[in-house]
Structure 1
């Protein structure tokens, strides 16, 4: 019985660490997606500024 409890404890520890690592990976992926969106917004703003400058010069 004691050995079974030890095994169960070890399994629960390993699953907890796996769950934690999976959660961290998901957070990293979400962070990457947010960064990509920000980059896209910046590119759009730069394009708009360039267009405005061209119109002003004309």
Structure 2
């Protein structure tokens, strides 16, 4: 299974910050398994994706 561009960006950003998926899930107020579902594209959570992008400063910058 291939990773999405968004998932790769999240993994890279977390490594640069020295943070984990668990830390990111805590910042979002969700479980690590729910975060995993979002990153793998199993959940359509547009608001959470936007929040992840803001927290990690990734994605499109307007």
Sort the TM-score into its range (normalised by shorter chain).
Answer: under 0.3
TM-score calculated relative to the size of structure 1: 0.26
Q: Which one scores higher on RCO, CA 8 angstroms, separation ≥ 6?
A: 2
TM-score, L = length of structure 2: 0.25
